[in-house]
Amino acid sequence: MSVNNGDDQEATPAKRQKLGDGRFGFRSNDMELLRTGSFSDAQVIAGNRVWKVHKSIVCLRSGFMHQVLAGPFKQGQAAIVRIDVCTEKQLDLVLEFIYSRSIEATEHLSLADCVELSMLGNVLLSKN
């Protein structure tokens, strides 16, 4: 399979490799989906905040979300997941990581915040 890069020349392996490196904005597109909630098919709730999420993204990248949303649980059937083990800020950062594979922390995170995020990540991001 060749990739047309606009000049009708077959893409070299180096050019083909760049397709998944973010040049086409897949990560930023995923983050835009999280920010806007466009095309969402599930909700995640922490505290008083609701995130409109996408099962195809969160279930593939989070073992916990896959178990809850794809399993026989009432939460999964309703496509609403309430998480009471973290703060809104912490879940926001975890969802940012799920959608972008990075965290752009705009405010200073304390060592305690980092430890709590690490423990939360062990639960929410496990592949099970």
Domains, the chain, in order of start with CATH, read 23-124 (3.30.710.10)
Res 53: pLDDT: 97
25 pLDDT more than 80: no
Centre a 10 Å sphere on the Cβ of residue 93 and count the other Cβ atoms it contains.
20
Q: What is the mean pLDDT of the chain?
A: 81
Round to whole Å and give the CA distance between 44 and 104: 20
77 has pLDDT over 90: no
CA distance 121 to 115: 10
- Report which of residues 114 and 28 the model is more confident about: 114
* 99 three-state secondary structure: helix
Least confident residue range of 27-31, 39-43, 65-69, 81-85: 27-31
CA atoms within 13 A on the CB side of 97: 16
What is the model's pTM? 0.74
Distance, CA of 69 to CA of 28 (rounded, Å): 24
